[in-house]
Amino acid sequence: MLIGAALVDDNGRIAVDVTVPHDLSPGDHLLIVTGIDADGHPYQLYAPIEVRRPISWATVALWVISGCFCC
């Protein structure tokens, strides 16, 4: 499920706010950031999250820093 998109800045960094779906079940989940690195190869970063209770909305600030991450 796609919950956001962002572009890499000149320093190879991205910053994006994503909204966690309101129907996301409590428990452990994994945010996956995908893109293409500077050499044209697929690249993925992972960020585990935990939803502790049912929520009507939540915003997660996802900060990913990588010198060679492009998308």
Count of domains observed in the chain: 1
Show the domain range for 29.
13-70
pTM over 0.85, yes/no:
no
31, part of any domain: yes
7, part of any domain: no
Query: Which pLDDT score, from 0 to 100, does residue 71 have?
Result: 46
The answer to whether 54 touches 26, Cβ cutoff 8 Å, is yes
Query: Which pLDDT score, from 0 to 100, does residue 54 have?
Result: 56
6, part of any domain: no
Q: Write out pLDDT tens, residues 14-70.
A: 888 888 787 888 889 988 888 887 788 998 888 888 888 754 554 444 444 444 444
Region of 68 (left: φ > 0; alpha: ψ -120 to 50; beta: rest) is: alpha
CA distances from 55 to 22, 26, 50, 58 (A): 6, 9, 12, 7
Query: Band of the pLDDT at 12, cuts 50, 70, 90?
Result: confident
